[in-house]
A and B are shown apart, each in its own frame.
Chain A
Amino acid sequence: MKIVVLVRQTPDTEAKVKVNSDGKTIDPNGITWIINPYDEFAIEKALKIKEQVGSGEVVLLACGPTRSEEAIRQGLAMGADRAVFIKDDKLEHIDPFVTSKFLANELQNIEHDLILSGKKVIDIESSQIPIFVAETLKLPFVTFVMKINEVDFGNKKITVDRESEGKHEIVEAKLPALITCDRGDDHPRYASITGIMKAKKKEIKEISLDSIDLNSLGLSKEDLEKGARTAITNMELPPARKEAKIFEGEIPEKVAALVKALREEAKVI
């Protein structure tokens, strides 16, 4: 039983994000990078499956700049067995389509019964990469999965719970399949000290960008720089939130003032 988890590194949710003067990229100075929280849920689900089955391997697969190695090490410290890392600083700004081509290409070299990933990355709120990967590999995929109910590696099927727009669905898929994970009831484990010490000795196989034949993936060098399918034309911070209005006085007066404001200013009632 082999599970591959797709891992990405994202800015910390508490990081103060600044847009570079080019208006298209984020200024990386002063940003703390973390493992994408939804990918952490995926790792947790993978480790749980491995524990339940009692054997197998959890492999992390990442594609990104050098710094992404911190996220990989964290995943290894949580308990993943080894990692494959398509590593190049030129991969900093590639679009989801190019990333998915690289990941799908590498997945052909890694034995897998199941592929897990986070349901989205929290930096640009994208959910595209894993779906592109599944499409490229012609694998069945289920998105936004809260819970993995059952994995039957013998009969090659998986049953999951997914939630989307108020619906709750139970889906069965054939293995190998790709699942994108939400939190569900999982609390990703903290890496133990022993886990951290062991992580240092675990293998991270590095794949260099130069070793990848872009033509065979239908990509050009330009796709790396400009994006093959999507390009960011402009990036700006959301406008500052307006200050809250606080009503003073006794409760009846406050309620009257609130109702008036809702009707006349906000025009919502």
Chain B
Amino acid sequence: MPTQTKTKEGMSFSLNEEQELLKQTIRDFVEKEVKPHAASWDEKEEAPLSTIKKLGELGILGMPIDPKYGGSGLDMLSIALVMEELARGDGSLALTVAAHNGLACGHISNFGSEGQKQKYLPELATGKKLGGWGLTEPGSGSDAASMKTRAIKDGDHWVLNGTKMFITNGSIGETFVILAVTEPEKRQKGISAFIIEKEDKGFKAGKKLLKMGMRSSDTSELILEDVRIPDSRRIGEINKGFINTLMILDKGRISIGALAIGLAQASFEESMKYVNQRETFGKLLKEHDVIRFTLADMAVDIDAARLLIYRAATYACEGKSFTLEASMAKLFSSEMAMRVCNKGIQIHGGYGYIREFPVERYLRDAKLCDIGEGTSEIQRLVISRELFKKYGV
């Protein structure tokens, strides 16, 4: 078992005053500016750029960035709280933020040079530019050893060629972190990271991908054809790109897990409202034991996931290793969201299956959490690997 801080009072499960205020502020914003529009954004399958701009004004697009570069400098637990509240209003918007913040900004913040941080972080932190991050390809994802995108050194420049797939913010982003193979024979230890700007010659977003859920989060292919960039655009050491990526993904998993919790919470709250309105067999839904028990199961499931996420995030805040905890939390939260959102639809019956009610959207959105930033299978792989390491098996 992980070591726990023991105090007379036991472990603390309370948020501090600042975190409460943060959660409340984001909740107010979401109630007024996000929730009322989420369904129409989903119908249009377009990212709500004006709302994304407002997120920038609030500091949500610079959450992990040091205030020195114009960011908010939030700890991982606070970021998780924001992600949950955003997703409670709109999963797609939360996903836009997750890819921008956790992946693009996170990679440059953690591994970029001082010059790169000064050049790119301020405009990302304020939302003047949106960021995207490209690891996945048509033929590879977590299996980075199969990556095809190549970066070849040419004097003090690099020339990149390849195609990236399923890239969040692909067509609306302006600053991208792209992973490319620099030494093929070293497999995943021969991958480096580069900053690519939207205007770079030979770089373009490919077709916009139409998805089952998270439909107002922009997803597209990225195409790199002889994109020539100076060596100053390389992030971190050569061949350390994928190794650094693993650290970025650990934090990203906490964000996606928190996002899943927000969706489940939204489904739960809608269900709570509905059971107080709808009558069947002469009584309100809430008066049927089967419905009450379903709601009880939903609440337990959500809370269990929340505790796992809070633990992983707290470990990250304390500077402890949290790979195992983040993977456990992400796996449980995303599968939990599928169970809970499914039950939310079931409680609504026929109304749950039509788009007039939001619960069907929550389930469509939740499915992404099972797949993005490491599928559930990858999480099980990471968890078992970490456990075998720990038990010396």
Per-residue interface assignment for chain B, residues 210 to 245, with 1 indicating a CB less than 8 Å from any chain A CB and 0 otherwise: 000000000000000000000000000000000000
A189-216 interface with B by 8 A CB criterion: 190-194, 196-197, 199-200
Assess whether A74 is in contact with B21, with CB atoms less than 8 Å apart.
Answer: yes
6 nearest CB pairs, A to B:
A193-B59, A193-B72, A192-B59, A191-B25, A192-B58, A190-B29
With both beta carbons as reference points, the residue of chain A lying nearest to B60 in the complex is identified as A193
Interface centre among A70, A74, A196 (most CB of B within 10 A): A196
- A197 to B22: give the CA distance in the assembly, Å: 9
B1-36 interface with A by 8 A CB criterion: 17-18, 20-22, 24-25, 28-29
| Inter-chain contacts of B57 with A (CB < 8 A) | 192
With both beta carbons as reference points, the residue of chain A lying nearest to B29 in the complex is identified as A190
Q: How far is the CB of B126 from chain A (nearest CB, A)?
A: 11
With both beta carbons as reference points, the residue of chain B lying nearest to A200 in the complex is identified as B18
Q: How far is the CB of B134 from chain A (nearest CB, A)?
A: 27
| Inter-chain contacts of A193 with B (CB < 8 A) | 22, 58-60, 62-63, 72, 74
In the complex, number of A-B residue pairs with CB atoms less than 8 Å apart: 42
With both beta carbons as reference points, the residue of chain B lying nearest to A69 in the complex is identified as B17
Q: Is A43 an interface residue (CB 8 A)?
A: no
Known: A190-B58, A192-B57, A192-B58. A197 touches B18 (CB 8 A): yes
Q: Is A73 an interface residue (CB 8 A)?
A: yes
- Residue pairs across A and B with Cβ atoms less than 8 A apart, 21 shown, are A70-B20, A70-B21, A73-B17, A73-B21, A74-B21, A77-B21, A77-B25, A190-B25, A190-B28, A190-B29, A193-B22, A193-B60, A193-B63, A193-B74, A194-B67, A194-B72, A196-B18, A196-B22, A197-B72, A199-B18, A200-B17
Q: Is B73 an interface residue (CB 8 A)?
A: yes
Q: How far is the CB of B362 from chain A (nearest CB, A)?
A: 21
| Inter-chain contacts of B17 with A (CB < 8 A) | 70, 73, 200
Known: A190-B28, A191-B21. 17 other contacts (CB 8 A): A74-B21, A191-B25, A192-B58, A192-B59, A193-B22, A193-B58, A193-B59, A193-B62, A193-B63, A193-B72, A194-B59, A196-B18, A197-B18, A197-B72, A199-B21, A200-B17, A200-B18
| Inter-chain contacts of B72 with A (CB < 8 A) | 192-194, 197
With both beta carbons as reference points, the residue of chain A lying nearest to B16 in the complex is identified as A200
Q: How far is the CB of B243 from chain A (nearest CB, A)?
A: 30
Q: How far is the CB of B301 from chain A (nearest CB, A)?
A: 23
Q: How far is the CB of A12 from chain B (nearest CB, A)?
A: 10
| Inter-chain contacts of B58 with A (CB < 8 A) | 190, 192-193
Interface centre among B20, B25, B28, B62 (most CB of A within 10 A): B25
- A193 to B23: give the CA distance in the assembly, Å: 10
A54-83 interface with B by 8 A CB criterion: 70, 73-74, 77
Q: How far is the CB of A47 from chain B (nearest CB, A)?
A: 14
With both beta carbons as reference points, the residue of chain A lying nearest to B62 in the complex is identified as A193
Interface of A: prevailing SS: helix
- A52 to B123: give the CA distance in the assembly, Å: 26
| Inter-chain contacts of B28 with A (CB < 8 A) | 190
Q: Which of the four size classes fits the interface of chain A?
A: 10 to 19
Per-residue interface assignment for chain B, residues 73 to 93, with 1 indicating a CB less than 8 Å from any chain A CB and 0 otherwise: 110000000000000000000
Interface of B: prevailing SS: helix
Assess whether A197 is in contact with B25, with CB atoms less than 8 Å apart.
Answer: no
With both beta carbons as reference points, the residue of chain A lying nearest to B22 in the complex is identified as A196
Q: How far is the CB of B20 from chain A (nearest CB, A)?
A: 8
Q: How far is the CB of B355 from chain A (nearest CB, A)?
A: 26
Q: How far is the CB of A53 from chain B (nearest CB, A)?
A: 22
| Inter-chain contacts of B62 with A (CB < 8 A) | 193
With both beta carbons as reference points, the residue of chain B lying nearest to A190 in the complex is identified as B29
Per-residue interface assignment for chain A, residues 203 to 238, with 1 indicating a CB less than 8 Å from any chain B CB and 0 otherwise: 000000000000000000000000000000000000
- A77 to B25: give the CA distance in the assembly, Å: 10
Known: A190-B28, A190-B29, A190-B58. A196 touches B63 (CB 8 A): no
- A197 to B74: give the CA distance in the assembly, Å: 9
| Inter-chain contacts of A191 with B (CB < 8 A) | 21, 25
| Inter-chain contacts of A73 with B (CB < 8 A) | 17, 21
With both beta carbons as reference points, the residue of chain B lying nearest to A191 in the complex is identified as B25
| Inter-chain contacts of A70 with B (CB < 8 A) | 17, 20-21
Assess whether A196 is in contact with B21, with CB atoms less than 8 Å apart.
Answer: yes
| Inter-chain contacts of A190 with B (CB < 8 A) | 25, 28-29, 58
| Inter-chain contacts of B18 with A (CB < 8 A) | 196-197, 199-200
B26-68 interface with A by 8 A CB criterion: 28-29, 57-60, 62-63, 67
Assess whether A196 is in contact with B25, with CB atoms less than 8 Å apart.
Answer: yes
Q: How far is the CB of B140 from chain A (nearest CB, A)?
A: 36
Per-residue interface assignment for chain A, residues 160 to 194, with 1 indicating a CB less than 8 Å from any chain B CB and 0 otherwise: 00000000000000000000000000000011111
With both beta carbons as reference points, the residue of chain B lying nearest to A194 in the complex is identified as B59
With both beta carbons as reference points, the residue of chain B lying nearest to A76 in the complex is identified as B21
- A225 to B25: give the CA distance in the assembly, Å: 35
| Inter-chain contacts of A194 with B (CB < 8 A) | 59, 67, 72
- A249 to B72: give the CA distance in the assembly, Å: 60
- A42 to B24: give the CA distance in the assembly, Å: 20
Q: How far is the CB of A124 from chain B (nearest CB, A)?
A: 23
- A73 to B20: give the CA distance in the assembly, Å: 11
- A190 to B60: give the CA distance in the assembly, Å: 12
| Inter-chain contacts of A74 with B (CB < 8 A) | 21, 24-25
- A193 to B29: give the CA distance in the assembly, Å: 12
- A22 to B33: give the CA distance in the assembly, Å: 40
| Inter-chain contacts of B74 with A (CB < 8 A) | 193
Q: How far is the CB of B388 from chain A (nearest CB, A)?
A: 40
With both beta carbons as reference points, the residue of chain A lying nearest to B58 in the complex is identified as A192
| Inter-chain contacts of B25 with A (CB < 8 A) | 74, 77, 190-191, 196
| Inter-chain contacts of A196 with B (CB < 8 A) | 18, 21-22, 25
- A181 to B8: give the CA distance in the assembly, Å: 48
- A192 to B21: give the CA distance in the assembly, Å: 11
